[in-house]
Amino acid sequence: MTETPFLALALLGERLEKTRKRLELAGLIADFLKGLGPEEIGPGVRLLIGQVFPEWDSRALNLGWRAVSKILPGLTAPSKDDLATIQAEAVDGGEWARLLLERARIEPPQPPPLPLWEVYRAFEEIAETAGPGSRRKKEELLNSLFLRAQPVEAKYIVKNVVREMRHGVSEGILLDAIAQATEVPKKLARRANMLCGDLGEVAFIALTEGQAGLERIRPHLLRPLKPMLAQMADGVAQAFQEHKEKTALEYKLDGARVQIHKADNEVHIYSRNLSEVTPSLPEVVDQVREEVRADSAILEGEVIAVDERGRPLPFQHLMRRFRRIHNLRELMREVPIQLYLFDILYRDGASLVDEPNRKRWRALQEVKGNLNSVARLTPRNPREGEAFAQASYEAGHEGLIAKRLDSVYTPGVRGKAWFKIKQTISLDLVIVAADWGYGRRHGWLSNYHLASRDEDSGEFLEVGKTFRGLTDKEFEEMTERLLSLEIYRREGTVYVEPEMMVEVLFNEIQSSPRYDSGLALRFARISRLRDDKSPEEVDTIQTLRELFNQQFEKKGRYERRKR
């Protein structure tokens, strides 16, 4: 059995941190993968990208920074000055661990050195530890790794615990590396990952079976696929033109996308991030069992919360259902939900992902029984499509999804086969703080705290954050400008003078206890800088409250039901 030292992965991470070019990143990873034994490939890939388990795997470490900050001080004896210096120098928890062990370790690392597979097995054991005393046992297992770890190894152990790698390696770069290491087409590696939802498995198959192995991958029942994604379009006319008039329009509901797997009488429901949410949606499980006319199927749909009149409620109320697994009966009465189906990917042993959209839609109608499907129209011209969009808005929905009729299902891909068409609102807001970025945005202030002004007090109140909408060059320029406005810092956040104005697009305003304003923007993104405006011209909290209330002219408003 090959025993690659965990140190090799840690040193690779250090090289990746210093590399910016995509091809060089992929090349370094490809060389590393080729040196792994078969049993190390899956664990090595997952530990490198900071996803200890596949996306569809429900296991979790259930440890975090609290455990790290509790264990490591017991192995070190830093002075107050050392701690202050380390805190100032460290850009994240992993770097803090490395510096602390380098400068203040009491005893050297215990032998023997850590093999890669043993670190992974320890993480598996941590995740599988449950019951009384499990917290103490988990911390003991983590401590046993730190006792044997070199400082740089501890850095990457911590990074996996807190899931913050900051080395700039995205899923796409890792797939490029797999393709480079095995000489398989990049497109095939990406498709395999879309169907597997596990970079470790894709790497293992590619390195042990090659192209033929990747080509054999098909959707698996009870293992969720990555969802196909949509690009934004300016309107129906753009989608109509891009799809060469062969488009279907569907209502875009303001709910939670779900993927439903039925295997005989067994039903499992997964969220768009591949987490299982079956226990939170018992009525959907019952409906699928009773209505779906197939022994096995993978269906896609949207779950929305509705009021007593059946009108859609704001998204945040639906999320209460997705977080609850106990005492559901009362919440089911308070927040009733409706399921609307829009796609089918698998039916009685046959994969449908490579079938055109029009054929999948017909198959969905054949199997859905009395379950709802989303409202759908195949327009003859953009004018019909615009009328359909207006009907969607009037019904309290977000807009439309335009789907090319001959498009196959491409899991995880955001292409032009699907377009989102939504009403957007714009406000002029001011940046009052920014967080340091990580990954590709490492070294830039790139998560901006947006604020509006209260007309009564004159105070700037936060209404959300966003890192969307800017290019790399703009992130760099924004960092320089914001640092020149710095007032003070706290942990990874730089607070600035409220002088930089931005135009922000968003889709909805939600109530939020997180901010003093009581409001939060949903899907906020910066469309442009407003250097032509001063902070005195910022949109006010009073304006946001008025917009918030206007939403309920079409949407339902949540009211706690009396017992």
What residues are labeled active site?
A: 252
Q: Check: CB of residue 282 under 8 Å from CB of residue 298.
A: no
Distance CA 362, CA 7 (A): 54
Q: Are strands 372-373 and 337-347 parallel, antiparallel or unpaired?
A: parallel
458 class by beta-carbon count within 10 Å (0-12 exposed, 13-18 middle, 19+ buried): exposed
3-state class (DSSP) for residue 247: strand
Distance CA 373, CA 553 (A): 25
Cis peptide before 282 (omega within 30 of 0): no
Distance CA 274, CA 297 (A): 17
Q: Check: CB of residue 340 under 8 Å from CB of residue 373.
A: yes
Distance CA 311, CA 328 (A): 22
Indicate the DSSP class of residue 220. Answer: B
H or E element, residue 450: strand 445-453
What are the backbone dihedrals phi and psi of residue 241, each rounded to the nearest 5 degrees, phi first?
A: -70, -45
What are the backbone dihedrals phi and psi of residue 372, each rounded to the nearest 5 degrees, phi first?
A: -70, 145
Q: Check: CB of residue 344 under 8 Å from CB of residue 364.
A: yes
Cα distances (Å, whole numbers) of residue 284 to 199, 258, 279, 347, 405: 30, 11, 10, 19, 28
Q: Check: CB of residue 226 under 8 Å from CB of residue 259.
A: no
Indicate the DSSP class of residue 10. Answer: H
CB atoms within 10 A of CB 455: 11
Instruction: For tokens 């995880």, name the residue.
Output: 412
Distance CA 334, CA 321 (A): 10
Cα–Cα nearest to 475, from 427, 440, 433: 440
